[in-house]
Copies of this chain bind each other. A is one copy, B any other.
């Protein structure tokens, strides 16, 4: 296994892209990443996507389709899917292929087109991340399943709803500085208090917005090799994935993200680092409760104490462990199968000092954690400056 570096990144604004198909979205992000890398070919293309089969889109076989669009007809290509954890899983699959020497250069493209699909179909589509035999038939939407977790968490640990407000306020404040964010407006505690309820206790400012989007990353061996002549700027220091049951009621401790702890522990071990060395953490804040659970599972807070890091400002750009530095799922937006690639591209740009108005003062080591289902598939990566 050899060291792997990120050579280029590309991201489209998460938005309503009425004029672009799922293939157009993926292709544009891919070309931007290739341009950023200075490379004009790769050996393999991995597409990460969740919902293109069951929407108005109706396009599977996206690997070959996107490869052709980008001008890479012929290269090996396929899709990796793990619900909303697809992006992280696809990046890991590509990382293994490059680290092994099986291939040299890989292009990972996460893409999702959601806003043209009617709401009920999207709600049904998102529910395919949950247990289709023992959760979905009972009627809860995916938001409702997360609401059960949040309600239980508040009951167990006594946090008032307002303790979660700083997660949303931080994400929106950061999103307001990111021209690629879906939502670019700051919000206040009053906005949070008055936000429309979605599924009690999750209100509109606890929940991330869906959107159309695509993000892409080019990776290759870290040694500076003559044929490419590129200087690696960011290295993959740790990569790991783990799973848990899809159904919440099957988990041993429903308020503990076991797969987050397991994959973070493996990634820390591989990188030879611990939580103390992480300068920023792009976590999977699909709902504010998931921010708290991720921070706890990854060693930044004791069980039940995640909201304290929000309340005391630790998660802010100048704080101990900045999260959602480009807005996170909450404000940058959550194009589900693409989200994991956005997270990794954002960490890379922070480490390169190319985060624009979102740039942190200190960003030498960053972590990205992508979750599929309400904690079922969790992929953790640690990146560091080259």
| A interface residue numbers (CB < 8 A to B) | 1, 21, 23, 50-54, 57-61, 63-65, 67-68, 73-83, 85-86, 89, 93, 96-97, 99-102, 124-125, 127-133, 136, 240-246, 250, 258-259, 262, 372-373, 376-377
Contacts and interface: CB of A to CB of B under 8 A. Distances in A.
B96 A63 contact: no
A110 to B, nearest CB: 13
A244 B61 contact: no
Contact of A77 (B52, B74, B243): B243
B82 A64 contact: yes
A96 B89 contact: no
Contacts of A246: 61, 64-65, 68
12 contacts: A21-B132, A61-B85, A64-B244, A64-B246, A64-B377, A68-B244, A73-B245, A74-B259, A75-B243, A80-B80, A80-B93, A96-B97
Contact of A100 (B102, B129, B132, B376): B102
Contacts of A245: 64, 68, 73
A198 to B, nearest CB: 22
B61 A373 contact: yes
A139 to B, nearest CB: 13
| 4 interchain residue pairs of minimum CB distance | A100-B100, A54-B54, A59-B132, A64-B243
Contacts of A67: 243
A82 B78 contact: yes
Contact of A136 (B58, B83, B97, B127): B58
Contact of A74 (B68, B128, B244): B244
A78 B241 contact: yes
A74 B132 contact: no
A132 B58 contact: yes
B100 A68 contact: no
A61 B82 contact: yes
Contacts of A258: 74
A65 B131 contact: yes
A243 B82 CA distance: 23
